[in-house]
Structure formats: structure tokens, C-alpha cells
Amino acid sequence: MRSLPPLRLLACALAVAVFASIPLISILSYGFRVGWDEIRPLVLRPLIGELLLNTLWLCATATAGCIALGLGLAWILERTSLPFAALWRALLAAPLAIPAFINSYAWITVRPELDGLKAATIVTVLSYYPFVLLPVAATLRGLDPALEESARALGTGPVRTFLRVVLPQLRTPILGGGLLVSLHLLAEYGAIEQLRYPTFATAIIAQYESTFASTAANVLAGVLVACCLVLVTLEVFLRGRARTARVGSGASRSRPRIRLGWWAIPVTAGVAGVVALGIGVPAYSVTHWLTYTGADSWTLGEIAPVVWSTLKLGAAASVIAVAVGFPVAWLAVRYRSALTTALERTTYLASSLPGVVVGLALVTASIRYARPLYQTTPLIIAAYVMLFLPRAMVNLRSAIQQAPPSLDQASRALGQSALATFLRVTIPLAAPGILAAMALVFLAVTTELTATLLLAPTGTHTLATEFWAATSEIDYPGAAPYAVCMIVLSTPAAWLLLRQSHFTGASYE
């Protein structure tokens, strides 16, 4: 029996869902206010078609590349006797710690002539393939070995077993990872701008720089939002149909790996090659620029205040995101119903919008409805919370699941009040997940570029904006220390993601 959610909690969650929807509402209402007659000539013009084609091409090539690379590497890591597999797994996940715009900076350093679709594909594949690799590897690891054994006993050879039994089980992580990559590509600004490949994200910023929060910029954002919504709808549809859950609950036994023998040499070389391209190139470039003119080209006095203001923004955003996300996650786990699930989904949906759209929407909305908020710290923190709420929610959800209601009831039966139960049972059990949620939001904020460029109050500098300002002036040595700071700050988040994917197994969401 399931009780009704408490009204106060429901009101909180509703407010959060509305808050998270502000960018979407803003873009849509802007369209209604301006009217189709004014929008039509802006939508139905060759530029939009060209941008759409460019964006879709990049999505297609880079997503295909990520799936091919991620699937192949996951299979090698989980199913073969690759020596030092644990080390390779960590190294292959390491690009998670390198923002794509640092990766493109590194590649331009090595190959200054890189530009266009090919360059954008190479750089984004090397930045985003872990989004496919990690869930596929986790699912491969979690698959019940009895499935494959049963297929073998039914007279199916190893290759056909992979195609007929294993691959269908991997459909969800492959498509889910692929959609995540596509969403990131729609939103990616920094890396693609550096490689001079125009997409919606870069066009919106260019439009903003020339005409501010104009109708043209908002129309571009509207088309981008439509693309995102298509992908998100696809994902919801996909999850609804997923049938990969293990039937029954038997204990997994470890499975024998394919012995590579002499193949170990070329396979290891291939894996090492991916690692060299994915983290070797950024490491080389950053080191190269750090030592280029010696340590006197930058000083600690210059960097310290930037680090400090970035940390402050990150801390504020992470605390607020967790506080705001907790009631929604709590309702979704403890009072599961169509309403609470819809509220939870709303926060995901709104937050699937690119930073460029959220930034533009908040600029447009604040100028029109809340002038005093424009160019203030609260507004940029609000943008961070909208953008990164899902990262907090995923962890809060699993944190709350760590403290099932049966433990609450046991505590209440032992004479503890509701508050005491919350403090003595729920919080201690959920604490690791809550901390992980805060850490992930914090680290996402420290490397956020696009929304920050649009919303940062005058005089507020973050690591990402300073890095961007330096590279825009081709001051590559000056950008290097900021790149190092961002990579160092991102490493714990990458480690968290790697660890989570390692322990969740087939229950990956």
C-alpha cells in the first residue's frame, strides 16, 4: 500500500519543476509573443538549413564514432584477458576529466591546421566516447553468464551468441550512451568554435555577440530546443521499451575471459593508442605550453582569485542543487506515482537544454521581467542549478534508495521520532550519495563555459572564462594554467562516474 505524498513536499517539488522549466517556458513564450509572422522568415532561410545539416552531420559522425569505439573498448575490457585491465579502464575513462574545449585546444596545439567536420568529429569522439564505454561495460559485466551459456548449449557458436544474445542486451546502454553523446554535441560550443565548424550552438553565440538577445538569437535557440526535445523523447521511448533486466536474481558467477595469447600485443597497442590520443595529446599540449616561456608568463596572484571565485560559484550551486533536488528525488522514490514521476521527468527534460539556450533564455527573461537580477551572481547560480540538476538527481535517487522505508519503520518502532529517524537513519545511509551529488554538480560548474560567458556578472571571472579569453587571443601559454586547474578539479568527478558505472552493473540508468 502506498500513501499519498505530503502536500508540503509536493508543493516544493512542483516549485522546483516550474523553476527548472523557466528556460523552456521563456523560449516558448518568446515565440508566442513575437508571433509566427516575424519568426517565419528567420526560420525558413538557408542559414538555418545549413546549420541544421552541419549539426546533424556532426551528431551522426561523432555519435557513430563514440558507439564504435565505446563498444569495442568495452568488449576488450570486459571479455578478454587484456593485461592490466583495471589500469586501462581508468585511463580509458580519463577523458571524462578533460573538458572538450580543452581537448580541442590541445589538438590545435599539435595540429594547427585542424578545422571543419573531420576535426570536430575526432575531438568530440575522443572527448565523449566514455559516455558509451562506461554503461556498455557495466552492462556486459552485469549480464547473467547463464544467458550466454544457455545459448551455447543450444548449439550457437560464440560469434552468433554475441550477435543474437549479447548485442540485444546492450541495446539500451548503446542507444542511451549515443543519445547522451548527441545531446552533448548539440550543446557543445567551445570545442566546435575553436575548430571553426558552425553549428546551432556557435551560431547562437555569434548572433548574441552581434545583436544581443534578439529575435534572431532566440529563434536559433528555439530550433536547437526542438532538436533536443526530439532526442529526449527518443530516450524516454527507449527506456520505456527496455527489456534488459535480468529475470530472476541468481548470483552472477565470474565468467572465463577470452585468452588473447599473442593477440595481446596488437590489442594492447590499440588500447594504448586510444589512450595516447585521448589523454596523451592534452597532457602533451598543456605541458608544452606550461613550460613554453617558463613560469614567469603567469603568476599565482593572477590565478588564485579566479580559482577562488570559481570555487565559490561551484559550492553555492552544488548546495542549492542538492537542496532543491532532494524533495523531488524523495517523492520520486518514496511516493512513486504518475504525478511524482512526471515532476522528476520535468527536471530532466528542462535540464537537457544546452547551456547556450539556458543562458540566452535567462538573459532574455531577466531583462524583460526581472531587470535587477540581470548580471548578478544569483542568476548565474540559478543557471547552473537548472543545467546540472539531473546530475544531482541521479545520485540523490540512489542515495534515497539506500534508506528503504522498512528501516524508517524499524526506527519508528524503536521509539524514534520522524525527525530523529531522518537524522539517525536516512541521512547517514544517504550521505555518500548526497556527497557524490554535490561533488558532481560542483565539478560541472567549474568547467562550464557557455552559460557562464552569457551570464557572468562583469568582473566575475571563472577558470573557463579566463581560459576562453586567453585562447580567443591565441594566448595559448596563458591558457595552460587554467586548463590544468580545470583538469585537476574534474578528476574526482571522472573517478566518481567510473566507480559508479563499475558497481551499478546491469541496473545502469
Partner 1 sequence: MNDGAALEVRGISKSFGRLRVLDGIDLTIPGRTTTAILGPSGCGKTTLLRLVAGFERSDGGTISIAGRSVQGSGRSTPPNRRDVGYVAQEGALFPHLDVRANIGFGLARWPAGRKAKRSRVEQLIELVGLDRGHAARHPHELSGGQQQRVALARALARRPSLVLLDEPFSSLDASARVSTRTAVAAALREEGVTTLLVTHDQSEALALADQVAVMVAGRFRQVAPGPEIYLRPIDLECARLLGAGSTLQGRAAGDWVECALGRLPLADSAPFTSAAVFIRPEQVTVHSGTAAVVTAVDYLGADKLAAIRLPSGEVVEARLAGTAALAAGDQVDVRVEGTVLAFASLDALGAKANSG
CB of 397 to partner 1, least distance (A): 22
Q: Does 256 bind partner 1 (CB under 8 A)?
A: yes
3-state secondary structure 229-250: HHHHHHHHHHHHHCCCCCCCCC
Count of CB atoms within 10 A of residue 266's CB?
A: 10
3 state SS of 80? strand
Least CB distance from residue 246 to partner 1, whole Å? 7
Mapped to the 3 state alphabet, what secondary structure does 405-449 carry? HHHHHHHHHCCCCHHHHHHHHHHHHHHHHHHHHHHHHHHHHHCCC
Task: Give the contact letters, 132-171, x = binds to partner 1 (CB under 8 A), - = no.
Answer: ------------x-xx-xxxxxxxxxx-xx--xx--xx-x
Give the one residue of 2, 243, 259, 371 binding partner 1; rule: CB under 8 A.
Answer: 243
Residue 483 CA: distances (Å) to CA of 103, 202, 466, 493: 10, 21, 10, 16
Of 158 and 270, which has the nearer Cβ to partner 1? Answer: 158
When the beta carbons of 166 and 483 are compared against partner 1, the nearer one is 166
* Residue with smaller CB distance to partner 1, 169 or 446: 169
For the chain, what's the residue count? 509
* Rounded to 5°, angle at Cα 52 from 48 and 57: 150
Told to check if 509 binds partner 1 by CB under 8 A, we report no
Query: How far, in Å, CA of 354 to CA of 451, rounded?
Result: 9
Look up residue 140 and give its three cell numbers: 556486459
Query: In terms of C-beta density within 10 A (0-12 exposed, 13-18 middle, 19 or more buried), how is residue 229 classed?
Result: middle
CB 136 → partner 1: shortest distance, Å? 16
| Under rule CB under 8 A, residue 250 binds partner 1 | yes
382: burial class by Cβ within 10 Å (0-12, 13-18, 19+)?
buried
The least CB distance from residue 334 to partner 1, in Å, is 24
Is 151 in contact with 161 (CB distance < 8 Å)?
A: yes
Report yes or no: 193 and 362 within 8 Å, Cβ to Cβ: no
Helix (H) or strand (E) holding 131: helix 130-142
Query: For the chain, how far is it from start to end, CA to CA, in angstroms?
Result: 26
At residue 291, φ and ψ (nearest 5 deg) are -100, 5
Residue number, 172 or 398, with CB nearest to partner 1: 172
Check binding of 261 to partner 1 (CB under 8 A). no
Q: What cell was used for 289?
A: 605550453
- Residue 255: CB minimum distance to partner 1, A: 9
Q: Minimum distance from CB of 505 to partner 1 (Å)? A: 15
- Give the three cell numbers for residue 257: 575471459
Site string for partner 1, 459-478 (x = CB under 8 A): --------------------
Reading the block at residue 192, the C-alpha cell is: 566546435
CA distance 296 to 218: 43
Residue 134 CB, shortest distance to partner 1, in Å, is 21
| Cβ closest to partner 1, residue 168 vs residue 457 | 168
Shortest distance, position 175 Cβ to partner 1, whole Å: 13
Give least dist CB 243 to partner 1, A: 5
Cβ partners under 8 Å of residue 85, min gap 6? 77
Q: In whole angstroms, how close is the CB of 331 to partner 1 at the nearest point? A: 26
244 binds partner 1 (CB under 8 A): yes
**Which of 1, 4, 247, 269 touches partner 1 by CB under 8 A?**
247
Give residues with Cβ within 8 angstroms of 290, minimum separation 6.
Answer: 477, 480, 481, 484
Q: Shortest approach of partner 1 to residue 71 CB, angstroms?
A: 17
Stretch that binds partner 1, among 52-60, 248-256, 442-450, 452-460 (CB under 8 A): 248-256
Please tell me whether residue 249 binds partner 1 under the rule CB under 8 A. yes
Task: Please report how close the Cβ of residue 233 comes to partner 1 at its closest, in angstroms.
Answer: 22
Nearest by Cα to 394 from 319, 443, 344: 344
Write each residue from 10 to 29 as x if it is in contact with partner 1 (CB under 8 A), else as -, in one continuous string. Answer: --------------------
Q: Which is nearer to partner 1, 156 or 376 (CB)?
A: 156
Q: Map residues 380-419 to x or -, x wherever contact with partner 1 holds by CB under 8 A.
A: ----------------------------------------
User: Which CB atom, from 83 or from 250, has the smaller least distance to partner 1?
Assistant: 250
Residue number, 76 or 151, with CB nearest to partner 1: 151
Rounded to whole angstroms, the Cα distance separating 137 from 140 reads 5
Instruction: Draw the binding track, 167-206, toward partner 1 (x: CB under 8 A; -: no contact).
Output: -xx-x-----------------------------------
| Between 167 and 420, CB nearer to partner 1 | 167
Sign of CA dihedral 4, 9, 13, 18: positive
Instruction: Name the residue nearer to partner 1 (CB basis): 158 or 378.
Output: 158
CB atoms within 10 A of CB 300: 9
Of 151 and 219, CB closest to partner 1: 151
Q: Is 240 in the site for partner 1 (CB under 8 A)?
A: no
CB of 506 to partner 1, least distance (A): 10
Instruction: Compute how many residues bind partner 1; rule: CB under 8 A.
Output: 29
Helices 116-128 + 130-142 axis angle, to 10: 40
Closest CA to 281 of 89, 119, 113, 105: 105
Contacts with partner 1 by CB under 8 A lie at 144, 146-147, 149-158, 160-161, 164-165, 168-169, 171, 243-250, 256
